[in-house]
Amino acid sequence: MMAIFKKEKSQPLIVPQHIAIIMDGNGRWAKKRGLPRTAGHKKGANNFRTISDYMNKIGVKYMTFYAFSTENWKRSKEEVETIMNLFKDYLIEAEQRLLETDMRMIFIGDRSVLRPDLIELMNRIEAASKDNTGAIVNMAINYGGRQEIATACKKIAQKVKAGEIEPEDITEDMISASIYTANQPDPDLIIRPSCEFRLSNFLIWQSAYSEFWFDNVLWPDFTTRDLDRAIHDFSNRQRRFGGVK
C-alpha cells in the first residue's frame, strides 16, 4: 500500500512505496564553487541525511541510495578514501541513532573488499536493526547491478550442482530472491539528479518497470521540494506493466 501525503494547501500525493536515488553530481557541485571534489562529497553525504529523514517522514517504506559503484574505484585514491571516511562517519552516527529509530538498514553491494572497520560497523548495524519494522534503508556501497546478478547466478548454480534444483526450475522469482534486495518490492521511482540520463549499473534487474525522474540540480542542491516535484509527477503517471488501462 502506498501512503498518501497531504501538504498544506496542495492536493494529496501518492507516495511511492520504494524510491531509489542515484546521488550524483557531488564533484560538479564542488567544481562550480572552486572547491575540491571531496567538499562535494561531504555536502552530498549531509544531503543524504536530510532527504532520507524526509522520505521517512512522508511515509516512504523502502529507500535505496546509490553511494558508491563497483566502477567508482577508478577514481583517485584520495577521493575514494574521502568517500569511505564519510561513509564511516555516517555509520557511527547511524549506529547511535538506531536506539531512537525503527528504521532497518541494509547494505547492498560487495562489502568483502571494503576496509575491515567499515565491514564490522555495517555487519553490526544490519544485525542490530534486522527486527525493526519501520522503513528499510538500502545503502548501495561497492554496488553494481551486473555484479549483483552474477552473484545470484553463482548461488543458483550451486543449488543445481548440489542437486537441490534442476536448471528448468530457475524462475524470475528465484533470481529476485537471490539478489541483495530479496523480499523487497522493486523501486517504484528512481531519481537521478545532475542531468545524466542513465542508470550507471544501478538496480538493473529491479528497475524493469520503475518510473524515472531526472533532474538538472546537482545532488548536494537537491531539496525536499525537488523530491516533492518528483513525487507529484509520479502521482500523475499511469503505470501499465505491459497491460491495458
List contacts with ligand IPE (CB under 6 A).
22-28, 66-69, 72, 83, 194, 196, 198, 200
Question: Residue with CB nearest Mg ion?
Answer: 24
What's the min distance (Å) between Cβ of 28 and Mg ion?
8
Q: How many CB atoms are closer than 10 A to CB 54? A: 14
- Which of 41, 104 has the CB closer to Mg ion? 41
- The residues that touch Mg ion, with contacts defined as CB under 5 A, are 24
Instruction: Enumerate the active-site residues.
Output: 24, 72
Question: Residue with CB nearest ligand IPE?
Answer: 27
Cα(186)–Cα(153) distance, integer angstroms: 19
Q: Among Mg ion, ligand IPE, none, what does residue 68 contact (CB within 5–8 Å per kind)?
A: ligand IPE
What's the min distance (Å) between Cβ of 205 and ligand IPE?
17
What's the min distance (Å) between Cβ of 72 and ligand IPE?
5
Q: Among ligand IPE, Mg ion, none, what does residue 65 contact (CB within 5–8 Å per kind)?
A: none
Q: Among ligand IPE, Mg ion, none, what does residue 72 contact (CB within 5–8 Å per kind)?
A: ligand IPE
What's the min distance (Å) between Cβ of 28 and ligand IPE?
3
Cα(47)–Cα(42) distance, integer angstroms: 9
Q: Among Mg ion, ligand IPE, none, what does residue 220 contact (CB within 5–8 Å per kind)?
A: none
